[in-house]
């Protein structure tokens, strides 16, 4: 659809496990519009509402729901790896690695200096090290997800949780609470465990150069601080890290004309 015949508009939609994000850019890559909604139980209905809120000439989909979107809306798709790489590199051209931690998976992506994907590794087999893991742990500890990171930062030390399996970790955390352990120290220990896994992925794909942290978990201040302390590398956060995938998809749509 389009309402402007003088400026071509390119949309990228990222259908994630928790949130759907949509970004519209012009040919130069400047962002014209953004919107988002919860994915809900019917992602295509939610996506249809979003695309009705903006105008565009071409659209490209990414995220875990991209294949269903392709069938429903006859639109091209791109992997999350390529979309996040394109979006991160557009905002930070010096980036050599992208760390994306979303709701259901985490990814470390090494980039060439042109922004193209060199190598990647991802965790998509369980919730360990993802936003969902942190969400469940926050609820178990009685924290709001929005304040979970700041509460963890307030702890004086880590109280490490030995298991990263969500089910076993939840049981272990419950036991620690019952023993009277400080909830903030448990929270910091959980964050440390997630960062250890993320840093391992990063080091396996890329050993140097600046890192861009994308995805909703990049909004967590404890995650950012611990990652910075773990890796002696520059870490940049996009203005809205949740939009990186949708932005990258929109830019790739613009690249194709």
Using one digit for the tens of pLDDT, what is the confidence trace for 170-227? 999 999 999 999 999 999 999 999 999 999 999 999 989 999 999 999 999 999 999 9
Q: Enter the tokens of residue 232.
A: 């002696």
* pLDDT band, residue 1 (cuts 50/70/90): very low
Whether 177 and 99 map to the same domain: the answer is yes
As to burial, measured by CB atoms within 10 angstroms (0-12 exposed, 13-18 middle, 19+ buried), residue 162 is exposed
Mean pLDDT, the chain, as a whole number?
A: 93
121-169, pLDDT tens digit by residue?
998 667 778 889 999 999 999 999 999 999 999 999 999 888 888 888 9
Distance CA 124, CA 107 (A): 9
Domain range for 219 is 93-237
Measure the N-to-C terminal CA separation of the chain; round to a whole number of Å.
15
Distance CA 231, CA 250 (A): 31
Whether 222 and 249 map to the same domain: the answer is no
The CATH number of residue 6's host domain is 3.30.420.40
Whether 109 and 26 map to the same domain: the answer is no
Q: For position 203, what pLDDT does the model report?
A: 95
Percent share of the chain, pLDDT over 90: 84
Whether 28 and 97 map to the same domain: the answer is no
Q: For position 163, what pLDDT does the model report?
A: 84
Q: For position 30, what pLDDT does the model report?
A: 97
HSE, CB side, 13 Å, CA atoms: give it for residue 251. Answer: 21
Whether 78 and 119 map to the same domain: the answer is no
Judged against a pLDDT cut of 90, whether residue 48 lies above it is answered with: yes
Number of domains in the chain: 2
Residue 11, SS3?
strand
Which helix (DSSP H) or strand (DSSP E) does residue 67 occupy? helix 66-73
Whether 56 and 100 map to the same domain: the answer is no
Whether 114 and 224 map to the same domain: the answer is yes
Whether 143 and 181 map to the same domain: the answer is yes
Q: In terms of pTM, does the model score above 0.85?
A: yes
How many Cβ atoms sit within 10 Å of the Cβ of residue 212? 28
Q: Enter the tokens of residue 18.
A: 């928790």
- According to DSSP, residue 113 is labeled T
Whether 116 and 8 map to the same domain: the answer is no
Note the Cα 32 to chain centre separation in Å: 21
Whether 101 and 212 map to the same domain: the answer is yes
Please compute the mean of the pLDDT values over residues 38-65 and round it to a whole number: 95
Whether 78 and 152 map to the same domain: the answer is no
78-116, pLDDT tens digit by residue?
999 999 999 999 999 999 999 999 888 899 999 999 999
Distance CA 2, CA 18 (A): 28
Whether 180 and 105 map to the same domain: the answer is yes
Distance CA 120, CA 108 (A): 6
């Amino acid at each position: 659809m389009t309402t402007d015949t003088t400026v071509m508009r390119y949309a990228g939609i990222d259908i994630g496990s928790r949130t759907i994000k949509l970004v519209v850019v012009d040919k130069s890559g400047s962002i014209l519009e953004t919107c988002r909604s919860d994915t809900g139980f019917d992602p295509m209905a939610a996506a249809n509402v979003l695309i009705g809120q903006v105008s565009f000439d071409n659209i490209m989909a990414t995220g875990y729901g991209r294949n269903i979107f392709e069938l429903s809306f006859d639109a091209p798709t791109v992997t999350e790896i390529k979309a996040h790489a394109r979006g991160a590199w557009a905002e930070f051209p010096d980036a050599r690695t992208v760390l994306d931690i979303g709701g259901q998976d985490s990814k470390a992506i090494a980039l060439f200096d042109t922004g193209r994907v060199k190598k990647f590794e991802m965790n998509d087999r369980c919730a360990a090290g993802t936003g969902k893991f942190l969400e469940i742990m926050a609820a178990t500890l009685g924290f709001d997800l929005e304040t979970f990171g700041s509460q963890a930062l307030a702890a004086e030390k880590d109280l490490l949780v030995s298991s990263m399996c969500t089910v076993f970790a939840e049981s272990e955390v419950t036991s620690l609470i019952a023993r009277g352990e400080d909830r903030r120290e448990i929270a910091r220990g959980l964050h440390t465990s997630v960062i250890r896994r993320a840093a391992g992925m990063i080091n396996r794909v890329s050993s140097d150069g600046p890192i861009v942290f994308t995805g909703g978990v990049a909004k967590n201040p404890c995650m950012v601080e611990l990652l910075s302390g773990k890796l002696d590398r520059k870490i940049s956060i996009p203005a809205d890290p949740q939009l990186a995938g949708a932005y990258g998809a929109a830019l790739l749509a613009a690249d194709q004309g």
